[in-house]
Amino acid sequence: MTVPESPDATLQNALDDAFAGISQRLRGFTPQLQVHEVGTVVSVATGIARVQGLMHLGFEERVVFPGGLSGIAFNLDEEGVDVVLLGDYAHLRAGQQVQRTGRVMDVAVGEALLGRVIDPLGRPLDGGAPVATEERLPIERPAAPIMDRAPVTEPLQSGLKVIDALIPIGRGQRELILGDRQTGKTAIAIDTIFNQRDKNVLCVYCAIGQRASAVAKAVANLRKKGAMAYTVVVVAEGNEAPGLSYIAPYAATSIAEYFMEAGRDVLIVYDDLTHHARAYRELSLLLRRPPGREAFPGDIFYIHSRMLERATHLSPARGGGSMTALPIIETQAQNISAYIPTNLISITDGQIVLSPSLFGLGVLPAIDVGQSVSRVGGKAQRAAYRAVAGDLKLAYAQFEELETFARFGARLDEDTRQSIVHGKRIRACLGQSELAPVTMPAQIAILLALNAALFDLVPLEHMTQAQQAVEDAANQLPDDLGQRLTTAAQLSDADRQRLTDTARQAIAGFLPRQPSSAPPDTEDR
């Protein structure tokens, strides 16, 4: 007969087993010592902290303050280090400790970022879970060497007729968007992001110093159109510390570079670099660096050039990926010869200039075709566009000159009057609503109709409906036609005739029943 153990004996046996396991683990444990270099906060200013005691701190190394606040080391001297603060520093006090991390400032990169809204430190701003990625890249990285680059040969379709036809953008190009405030600069960039759907192009939208309401509107539009599935949004709001606004475009560029180096095509929008330059000016003055023109520091050109040079088209040996940059700059009173605009114009491969005068007249997008230029995209433009848009820019420029001359009330001959009538139809056709990108076949059909003067008999008040009719008819054409427009070395006569006939049939319903020998003149006199 077996006598059962008492409860006290069972408990004692369990404790003995636990102590034996702990003893065995302790015998195999080897302590690992970690050395942390710790300094002391001497003073705190607006976005800047003065630190002493970090004797081995490196330039642009990340440091950590109490409460998890991060900073970047900028000024290094024998008496101490000036650190740019990256976040809310209201709790920071002199005498608190600061610790080195031993690594430069970096950001999380990877596929998990697609569809997310984050700050420059990788923290989520969309209410979702923390971003889980396995790789991080420094925010400051050298640009690809010349021998690792390839020519820009592939277009990036924006979906905007005036850009794709007259100011084309290529994949790997840097095209500046500049204009006065409230002229539609962000709208052009957002429309370009919308048009990358199903085109195997990933997008990064970097909002620098923007109002929270403006960023929320942009994100809402991206979600509404389903563009967040292939877009990463990096946000540094206007009420944040200037250090966050400074590192935001560099962090966004590293995120885009990760995808580019994986062989993907990427579009990155910097909205806008005016706020970035002002944030760096504020930091430089707080760091007591010598001011230069307009109080900007001497290296203001370099902070933008070293970032935009990272946008390129990689060679096939490097994966063949590309990063197309659309930096945005805000001008004052259309002064494109100011310090920051001229810097960016000299760095980029072309510019899209927006005119407040055109915006006031309701011509949207308000792009000044005469001052806008693309120094690379013409070589990457589709052959179909080159065939139909070659004379369009010249005709539009002549119309603008004649329109100015006609305002003096001079008597015009029939040819001049016809040029003005045709030019007004060109302006109406190049106009486009926001959030309404136009497909390539529809754009070609509209441009062909313009070249054939099919719109000249359409009253101006019916131009919007006539264009929509042409667009709807062109979108019903077979897919093989769109494929030929994309890949063919030149626009064939058969395809040209087919698109022209489609446009003519669509426009027929908007022509006057008994057209006079001269075009309608309701709004042209």
Q: For residues 344 and 178, is the Cβ–Cβ distance under 8 A?
A: yes
50, 289, 306, 375: the active-site residue: 375
pLDDT of amino acid 482: 85
Q: Does domain 108-381 have CATH number 3.40.50.300?
A: yes
CA distance 348 to 166: 18
pLDDT of amino acid 525: 37
Mean pLDDT of 398-419: 82
CA distance 162 to 367: 8
Q: DSSP letters along 77-126, please?
A: -SS-EEEEEES--TT--TT-EEEEEEEE-EEEESGGGTT-EE-TTS-B-S
User: Which two tokens mark 222?
Assistant: 């991206």
pLDDT digits (tens, 9 = 90+) for 206-216: 999 999 999 99
CA distance 366 to 352: 10
Indicate the pLDDT class of residue 7, thresholds 50, 70 and 90: low
Instruction: Provide the phi-psi class of 267: left if phi over 0, else alpha when psi is between -120 and 50, else beta.
Output: beta
More confident residue, 466 or 518: 466
Q: Can you give the length of the chain in residues?
A: 525
Mean pLDDT of 282-302: 94
Q: DSSP letters along 345-401, please?
A: HHHSSEEEEB-HHHHHTT-SS-B-TTT-EESSHHHHS-HHHHHHHTTHHHHHHHHHH
pLDDT of amino acid 412: 79
Q: Which helix (H) or strand (E) holds 243?
A: helix 242-261
pTM for the full predicted model: 0.89
Indicate the domain borders of the chain.
38-104, 108-381, 387-510
Provide the Cα torsion 497, 498, 504, 509; round to 10°: 170
375 belongs to the catalytic site:
yes
pLDDT of amino acid 327: 98
Task: Indicate the average pLDDT of the chain.
Answer: 90
Mean pLDDT of 444-458: 91
Mean pLDDT of 448-461: 91
Domain 38-104: give its CATH code: 2.40.30.20
Indicate the pLDDT class of residue 515, thresholds 50, 70 and 90: very low
Predicted confidence (pLDDT) at residue 12 exceeds the cutoff of 80? no
Q: For residues 313 and 172, is the Cβ–Cβ distance under 8 A?
A: yes
With 0-12 / 13-18 / 19 or more C-beta atoms within 10 angstroms meaning exposed / middle / buried, residue 415 is: exposed
Instruction: Provide the phi-psi class of 39: left if phi over 0, else alpha when psi is between -120 and 50, else beta.
Output: beta
Angle at 105 between CA 99 and CA 108, to 5 degrees: 115
Q: For residues 177 and 328, is the Cβ–Cβ distance under 8 A?
A: yes
Indicate the pLDDT class of residue 523, thresholds 50, 70 and 90: very low
More confident residue, 1 or 52: 52
Predicted confidence (pLDDT) at residue 522 exceeds the cutoff of 50? no
Indicate the pLDDT class of residue 519, thresholds 50, 70 and 90: low
Predicted confidence (pLDDT) at residue 266 exceeds the cutoff of 60? yes
Question: Which has the closest alpha carbon to 371: 353, 357, 389, 355?
Answer: 353
Q: Which CATH architecture has domain 387-510?
A: Up-down Bundle (1.20)
Indicate the pLDDT class of residue 33, thresholds 50, 70 and 90: low
Q: For residues 313 and 152, is the Cβ–Cβ distance under 8 A?
A: yes
Predicted confidence (pLDDT) at residue 520 exceeds the cutoff of 70? no
